[in-house]
Amino acid sequence: MADQTESSVVIDSAPENVLRVISDFEHYPTWAAAVKEAVVLERQPDGDRATKVRFTLDAGAVRDTYSLDYTWNFAADGTGELSWTLDESTVMRSMEGSYRLAASGAGTRVTYRLAIDLRIPMLGMLRRKAEKAIIDTALTELRKHVES
């Protein structure tokens, strides 16, 4: 899945604070409007970070329950990358994405990458437009939640 859509935002908070929010999957429904439920299915052996999460999504025209497998690569200061791949879904054939956190002055530059392949045919241009809308909404909601 070579074609990925990407966008970035600077959040007025330290990387470790942003990391704390993006790793707290169970609370996504409180700040990510389309996420109705998030259940951690598996964790790393130390029990700290989730490695598999099931989401229930209701984004109007798109409704799905899907699970993602997560890979963590972070430094002690909260900079690094959280990436994921699709485990199972009824609507999507595949999904790859990541949050990359980098220090930016007193804040954090968050770069979100996403590539989705749906089971229903969709023109590449429309798919990328949908990915861009998903990314922009997610970054806006994340920023609002972290900075509040």
Q: What is the CATH number of the domain that holds 12?
A: 3.30.530.20
Helix (H, G, I), strand (E, B) or coil at 146: helix
Helix intervals (H) in the chain: 15-22, 28-31, 124-147
Over residues 12-54, the pLDDT tens digits come to: 999 999 999 999 999 999 999 989 999 999 999 998 899 999 9
How many domains does the chain fold into?
Answer: 1
Q: What is the pTM of this model?
A: 0.89
If DSSP codes are grouped into helix, strand and coil, which group holds residue 113?
A: strand
140 is in which domain, residue-wise?
5-147
pLDDT in tens, 58-82: 876 678 999 999 999 999 999 999 9
Report the SS3 class of residue 79. coil
